[in-house]
Amino acid sequence: MSAETSTSLSKLAQAVPVLKDLNTGFLISLSQLCVDDCIALFTKSDVKILKNNKVIILGKREHNGL
């Protein structure tokens, strides 16, 4: 998953709990992003997080379905 710029998100949307045992990637809160006026768009191959009609986060689906 990549983020174009984290400055597009408010401090609240950037605040996340840290999970020490999470080794496989990133954990984001869709509800926090939506409260920050973002839109989450899921397809069978990826997820895009948009803010102000601009993609700020792009996640690709892995071959294992995750």
Highest-confidence range of 10-14, 16-20, 38-42, by mean pLDDT? 38-42
CA distances from 22 to 6, 17, 18 (A): 21, 11, 9
Q: Can you give the pTM of this predicted structure?
A: 0.69
- Tokens, residue 66: 């995750």
pLDDT band at 5 (very low <50, low <70, confident <90, very high): very low
